[in-house]
Amino acid sequence: MEALGIDVGGSGVKAAPVDLDTGERLETRLRIATPQPSTPEAVYAVFDQLIEHYRWDGAIGCALPSVVRSGVVYTAANIDDGWIGRDVATELTERYSMPVSVVNDADAAGIAEQRFGEARDLNGTVLLLTLGTGIGSAMFRDGALLPNTELGHLEFKGMDAEHYAAARLVDEGGLKRREWAVRLNEYLNYVEDVLSPDHFILGGGISKKFDDYSDLLDTTATIRPARFRNRAGIIGAALATEKETV
């Protein structure tokens, strides 16, 4: 079986068809810059381009930086507030006459890692953190997803945690990677105090450099880099078309 996975981020909208039995992308990923402002109508126009590019006719999974319940968006992080309150799954299903599932973007990444990646053989409480523009989170307990955890928005040091420890601060905030890793470790220890996970999995592009800063990370939980990194959102969005996944 196949599905088109679409991952909406603050700077780019990425998509590719995915083999649901293997988690492999079936064609080269296409990335289009996220419109500014990133209203639903503007982003839907990008979806039109992606679907036309792949000549797609089948199930579609969409990952959004939002709390999503039964296809309805309740929050908007790094996208326009106009998404809030929209039944995006129904709107897109009607727009394309194809079944469309909508899921939180970090949950999508977690689904990919749980099915085919680093979380596949882990038991207990597994917490995947996507480190990029913000901090997304996906939590699993013995393989079952607890959706919409949004741990990047925990209050930490008087601010949203992602404002203190998101990976974007390395490029945009002037932090050196190892300076950022010290902040990340503080955040990980705070999350560990609150939730006591057994395992942390770190995703996002910066996980490629995990060996450059892993010596600065110290928790009682195991810590490992994600397998799929920036590919995880596309893969997990496609997998979310299988209703039992979320």
| pLDDT tens sequence for the chain (246 residues) | 999 999 999 889 999 999 999 999 999 999 999 999 999 999 999 999 999 999 999 999 999 999 999 999 999 988 999 999 999 999 999 999 999 999 999 999 999 999 999 999 999 999 999 999 899 999 999 999 999 999 999 999 999 999 999 999 998 989 999 999 999 999 999 999 999 999 999 999 899 999 999 999 999 999 999 999 889 999 999 999 997 555
Q: Using CA atoms, how far apart are residues 236 and 61, in angstroms rounded to an integer?
A: 8
Q: Enumerate the H helices of 21-176 as residue ranges.
A: 40-54, 88-96, 105-116, 161-165, 168-171
Query: CATH 3.30.420.40 spans which residues of the chain?
Result: 2-107+231-245, 121-226
For domain 2-107+231-245, the CATH class is alpha beta
pTM of the model: 0.94
Give the whole-angstrom CA distance, residue 160 versus residue 151. Answer: 9
Is residue 182 packed enough to be buried (19+ CB in 10 Å), middle (13-18) or exposed (0-12)?
middle
Query: Considering only the top CATH level, what class is 121-226?
Result: alpha beta
Which amino acid appears at position 146 of this protein? L
DSSP letter (8 states) at residue 103: E
